[in-house]
Amino acid sequence: MGELKALENGFEYIEIINDAACAEIALQGAHVFHYARHTQEPLLWLSDESLFEKGTAIRGGIPICWPSFGMNNPKLPQHGFARIFLWDLVSVEEIDLKTTQVILSLKDDEKSRNFWNNAFDLELKITVSEQLTLELTTVNTDKKSYIITQALHSYFHISKIENIAIKGLDSKPYLDALTGNMQIQNGDIIFDQEIDRVYQEVDQSIYIKDQSRVIQIQNFGSSSSVVWNPWIDKCKRMSGMSDTAYTEFVCVESANAFDDFKKLEPGESHTLRAIIE
């Protein structure tokens, strides 16, 4: 079942409950901010201090970074504008008792062209079942080609940062965003300091191994993935999270970033898909 709800301030979201799982999706940003299988802990982390206000990005869940990841376009806000724009709810469909599909869309208008002067049709298909699937499709409806970078900026709920290891990226090259250097991953990723890396040549599933569970992320239409945790000092400087929030989450982001950018000719489309379980 899917139900459109609103907070007291008018902030709208969709609540999904079926026989397999529950989820909550904000219309602003097409932002999945909660997902959990029944009887299990939430898969996604959401900051207790996150503001649910119009024009302000939610801290946690799965923000959509589009049409630019990071700050590689000085004309755009950090991570683009899709995560702070209001999307249209196209449909909520009950596929079966354990599967609900939600489709949201965003199209160019005067407001978007003030940021980024291109015509587009952006659609996010979210499938809530025993696994969570997100499919972000960009269609170039312009008369000229353009380049996009993007990410499904997933925050995963963990027991504690020192308890986890990221598997599946051994021997992969990565850009260390903290130093600007290219390096090669050696073994699993463990955390004892700030990490902000864009991995390339990603061609297999990524796993977050925690004390009591393993989270699997499968990416399609993507050969890059971002691994991030702000650690102590940066966490204290960041808005929308407590000083100790870094202990509670890790970001493993399905992306088209750095060398994995996408150039779309007029009429072309690209789909970035992530399956999380």
The domain spans of the chain are 2-276
pLDDT at position 50, please? 87
Residue at token pair 């393993």: 214
pLDDT at position 66, please? 97
Is the whole-model pTM more than 0.85? yes
Question: What is 2-276's CATH topology?
Answer: Beta-galactosidase; Chain A, domain 5 (2.70.98)
Q: What would the mean pLDDT of 110-131 be, rounded to a whole number?
A: 97
Residue 75 reports pLDDT greater than 80: no
- Nearest CA to 246 out of 191, 177, 165 is that of 191
Q: Report how far residue 147's alpha carbon sits from residue 49's, in angstroms, rounded to the nearest whole number.
A: 34
pLDDT at position 77, please? 80
Q: Report how far residue 52's alpha carbon sits from residue 12's, in angstroms, rounded to the nearest whole number.
A: 9
More confident residue, 78 or 126: 126
Under 8 Å between Cβ of 59 and 240 = yes
The CA distances from residue 216 to 43, 154, 170, 252, 275, in Å, are 11, 12, 16, 10, 8
Say which of 253, 265, 268, 270 is annotated catalytic. Answer: 253
Q: What would the mean pLDDT of 70-89 be, rounded to a whole number?
A: 86
> Residue 272, class by beta-carbon neighbours within 10 Å (0-12 exposed, 13-18 middle, 19+ buried)?
buried
* 136-153 pLDDT, tens digit each: 999 999 999 999 999 999
State yes or no: is 253 an active-site residue.
yes
- Nearest CA to 132 out of 22, 45, 236, 208 is that of 22
Say which of 153, 201, 265, 270 is annotated catalytic. Answer: 153
* 198-224 pLDDT, tens digit each: 999 999 999 999 999 999 999 999 999
Q: Report how far residue 164's alpha carbon sits from residue 196's, in angstroms, rounded to the nearest whole number.
A: 16
Q: Is the peptide bond before 42 cis (omega within 30 degrees of 0)?
A: no
Q: Report how far residue 221's alpha carbon sits from residue 223's, in angstroms, rounded to the nearest whole number.
A: 7
pLDDT at position 90, please? 97
State yes or no: is 153 an active-site residue.
yes
* 84-115 pLDDT, tens digit each: 999 999 999 999 999 999 999 999 999 999 99
